Amino acid sequence: MINMYEVSETNKMIEHENLDVRTITLGISLLDCVDSDLNELNRKIYEKITKLAENLVATGQEIEREFGIPIVNKRISVTPVSLVGGAACRTPEDYVTIARTLDKAAHKVGVNFIGGYSALVSKAMTKSDENLIRSIPQALAETERICSSVNVGSTKTGINMDAVRLCGEIVKATAEATADNDSLGCAKLVIFCNAPDDNPFMAGAFLGVTEADAVINVGVSGPGVVKKALEKVRGKGFEELCETIKKTAFKVTRVGQLVAGEASSRMGIPFGIVDLSLAPTPAVGDSVAEILEEIGLERVGAPGTTAALAMLNDQVKKGGVMASSYVGGLSGAFIPVSEDQGMIDAVKAGSLTLEKLEAMTCVCSVGLDMIAIPGKTAASTISGIIADEMAIGMVNQKTTAVRLIPVIGKDVGDTAEFGGLLGYAPIMPVNEFGCDAFINRKGRIPAPIHSFKN
Amino acid sequence: MKKCIVTVLGKDTVGIIAKVCTYLAENEINILDISQTIVQGYFNMMMIVDVTGLKKDFTAVCDELEQLGQEIGVNIRCQREEIFEKMHRL
């Protein structure tokens, strides 16, 4: 039988160490909504989402109450909209009507984000994909809860440099379209390489075409719990350090698995995966950077950071894998800057640079995340940064992503405020040497030699 | 059997157990196990209870126990047992 020590350990994690389930994300396929009439398409999308997700928020709250575990977000991911809208949308403006419909549906069912305003163009773009991508700035400026993503490369296909060039311009245009709110639109736009089909975390969530009609995916969290556990093994060897991380990740993930199973059975929707991620928030004590500092770095960004992060990421997976029947999504430590107080402090202290963050993305999920850069940064430079990050993903056969916010009207020394879970970020300097001639080349970078495995 | 864990934490005072147990009895909740300690004036109790015979909604019990806690001046939580089982047992 459960003893008092175990009960108090669990409740201490919840009350004092920010243990929570970060998100229950309901994936909804919109493939059966396809229609050549735009109004009809919008109607079908709205009806399907509001019907399937009707009880999502209430079910989440019920589970929270019964088990005493906070479930921070209830969200929805849908089929990449470029695949759904192709028959009806002739122009980018047509796509914006779908964005409005999704936003309306999100408000109706009470979720705080809906992801999947996306295009998968890792090899090339269809006209429909291009229209969707070109509609992103307006769609993000006119809606509140839409999240958008574009997959521009993969290990199997190489990198679509035409899409990379276009996405640099789109990131810039989105920043300008939402300049009044510190270019907040860019916080809801992710450029991916090797994007997973079942990621429950925003802003990059969408429901891939290989998925069922509806599916429940859950993202766990718990940086604070890992940090507290590591405080007890200060000065100990790597073996003990790794064992502690694994055991803690196991416990955290088991809670996610429990919640996923409950949500799935209560809603009558199949369970997909648990995403084993250490997802920080701006709250004190909920930081991945603090874990790295607890491991022994004076500040995150110091020499040793990449090694410490590689170890942390690997141990989280090793501990989590056995705790869940199906693991998927991004599964790793997130290193967003604006959403992690320790990262923000490290940037302010001059310890963490864009280049070091890029190195860190080689060994963890996901990429250059929530980084505010000067608003004057050229679109081609943004494309260059995207291309670098995509290359890391392509060659290392992992997911990488870029979520940069060129904050219009602000420069190094200023701070951008995004609010809520998105946090705030000091503007980081960007290498100002140009890469236009490289970015302006047409076509794609071929797939790497080690992708030919057949 | 549907088991739940009730935890009571707070400053020790007269009648904490009595009030909690009265509430449980009134709601057909059977107590299976109690452990309780007092450390430096702080009352710490854990009960394993059976809610199979419960007539009302389980979330209502959670809310009412929390409210009862506020009246006594302690913190009362009621949670389904599975969260602890999952985390601490293979």
Cα(A12)–Cα(A18) distance, rounded to whole angstroms? 9
Residue keyed to tokens 């890469």: A435
* Pairwise CA distance, residues A91 & A135, whole Å: 8
Structure tokens at A297: 């770095």
- Nearest chain A residue to B34, by CA: A4
Res A399: pLDDT: 95
What is the C-alpha separation between A378 and A432, in angstroms, rounded?
A: 9
Q: Are A350 and A402 in contact (CB under 8 A)?
A: no
In this model, does residue B20 exceed pLDDT 90? yes
Closest Cα in chain A, distance from residue B52 (Å)? 15
Say which of A6, A65, A69 has its CB closest to residue B88. Answer: A6
* Maximum distance among all Cα pairs of chain B, rounded to whole angstroms: 39
What was the pLDDT predicted at A450?
93
The pLDDT value given to residue A318: 94
Strand, helix or coil for residue B73: coil
Domain that holds residue B43: 3-87
pLDDT for A192 equals: 97
Biggest alpha carbon–alpha carbon distance for chain A:
68
Q: Do residues B47 and B6 make contact, with C-beta atoms less than 8 angstroms apart? A: yes
pLDDT (0 to 100) of residue A66: 95
- Chain A, 261 to 280: residues with Cβ < 8 Å from chain B are none
Where residue B51 sits, what CATH number does that domain have?
3.30.70.260
Query: pLDDT tens digits for B50-79?
Result: 999 888 999 999 999 999 999 999 999 999
pLDDT at A383 (0 to 100): 98
The total number of residues written for chain B in this structure: 90
Q: Is the pLDDT of residue A285 over 90?
A: no
- Cα distance from A292 to chain B (closest Cα, Å)? 24
Q: Does B81 touch chain A (CB under 8 A)?
A: yes
B36 CA to chain A: closest CA distance, Å? 9
| Average of per-residue pLDDT values in chain A | 95
How confident is the model over A86-96, as pLDDT tens digits? 999 999 999 99
For residues A305 and A363, the answer to whether their CB atoms sit within 8 Å is: no
* For residues A68-85, average pLDDT: 96
Name, of A75-79, B13-17, B34-38, the range with top average pLDDT: A75-79
Q: Are A441 and A162 in contact (CB under 8 A)?
A: no
Q: Which residues pair with B47 in a beta bridge?
A: B6, B34
- State the residue for tokens 């919008």: A42
Rounded-to-integer distance, Cα A392 and Cα B18, Å:
63
pLDDT value, residue A433: 97
Phi, psi angles (nearest 5°) of residue A395: -70, -35
Give the pLDDT mean for A28-55: 97
Task: Give tens-digit pLDDT for A339-369.
Answer: 999 999 999 999 999 999 999 999 997 899 9
Structural domain total, chain B: 1
Average pLDDT in the A78-99 region?
97
**CB neighbourhood size of B89 (10 A):** 9
The answer to whether A69 contacts B83, with C-beta atoms less than 8 Å apart, is yes
- Compute the average pLDDT of residues B6-30: 94
DSSP B60: H
The Cα B57–Cα B60 span in angstroms is 5
Q: Is A4 on the interface with B (CB under 8 A)?
A: yes
Whose CA is closest to A78, among A180, A184, A213? A213
Three-state secondary structure string covering chain A:
CCCHHHHHHHHHHHHHCCCCEEEEEEEECCHHHCCCCHHHHHHHHHHHHHHHCCCHHHHHHHHHHHHCCCEEEEEEEECCHHHHHCCCCCCHHHHHHHHHHHHHHHHHHCCCCEEEEEEECCCCCCHHHHHHHHHHHHHHHHCCCEEEEEEEEECCCEEEHHHHHHHHHHHHHHHHHCHHHCCHHHHHEEEEECCCCCCCCCCCCCCCCCCCCEEEEEEECCHHHHHHHHHCCCCCCHHHHHHHHHHHHHHHHHHHHHHHHHHHHHHCCCEEEEECCECCCCCCCCCHHHHHHHHCCCCCCCCCHHHHHHHHHHHHHHHHHCCCCCECCCCCECCCCCCCHHHHHHHHCCCCCHHHHHHHCCCCCCEEEEEEEECCCCHHHHHHHHHHHHHHHHHHCCCEEEEEEEECCCCECEEEECCHHHCEEECCCCCCCCCHHHHCCCCEECCCHHHCCC
**The pLDDT of residue B90:** 86
Closest residue of B to A324, CA-based? B86
- The ipTM of this complex is 0.91
Position A99: which residue type?
A
- Residue-wise pLDDT tens digits, A135-151: 999 999 999 999 999 99
pLDDT value at residue A33: 97
Q: Which two tokens stand for residue A425?
A: 């970020």
Chain A residues in contact with B80 by the CB 8 A cut-off are: 66-67
The token pair at B59 is 């979330």
Contact between B87 and A257 using a beta-carbon 8 Å cutoff: no
User: What's the CA gap between A435 and A357, in Å, rounded?
Assistant: 20
Question: Which residue of B46, B79, B83, B88 to mutate against A (max A Cβ within 10 Å)?
Answer: B83
A251 with B85: Cβ contact below 8 A: no
Residue B72 has which token pair?
């006594």
Distance of CA A421 to the CA centre of its chain: 13
For residue A30, is pLDDT > 90?
yes
Phi first, then psi: give them for residue A185, nearest 5 degrees.
Answer: -55, -35
| Cα-to-chain-centroid distance, residue A73 | 13
Tell me how far apart the alpha carbons of residues B11 and A14 are, in angstroms, rounded to a whole number.
21
Contact B83 A6 (CB under 8 A): no
Residue A1 reports pLDDT greater than 90: no
What is the rounded average pLDDT of the residues A202-223?
Answer: 94
For B84, nearest residue in chain A (alpha carbons): A7
pTM assigned to the model: 0.93
Q: How confident is the model at residue B11 (pLDDT cuts 50, 70, 90)?
A: very high
Closest CA to A34 of A24, A44, A22: A44
Q: Which two tokens stand for residue A451?
A: 């992708």
Measured distance between the N- and C-terminal CA atoms of chain A, rounded to whole angstroms: 51
Distance CA A275, CA A329 (A): 5
- Token couple for A97: 């009507």
Average pLDDT over residues A50-61: 96
Q: Which residues of B touch A65 (CB under 8 A)?
A: 59, 62-63
pLDDT digits (tens, 9 = 90+) for A380-438: 999 999 999 999 999 999 999 999 999 999 999 999 999 887 899 999 999 999 999 99
Q: Helix, strand or coil for residue B78?
A: strand
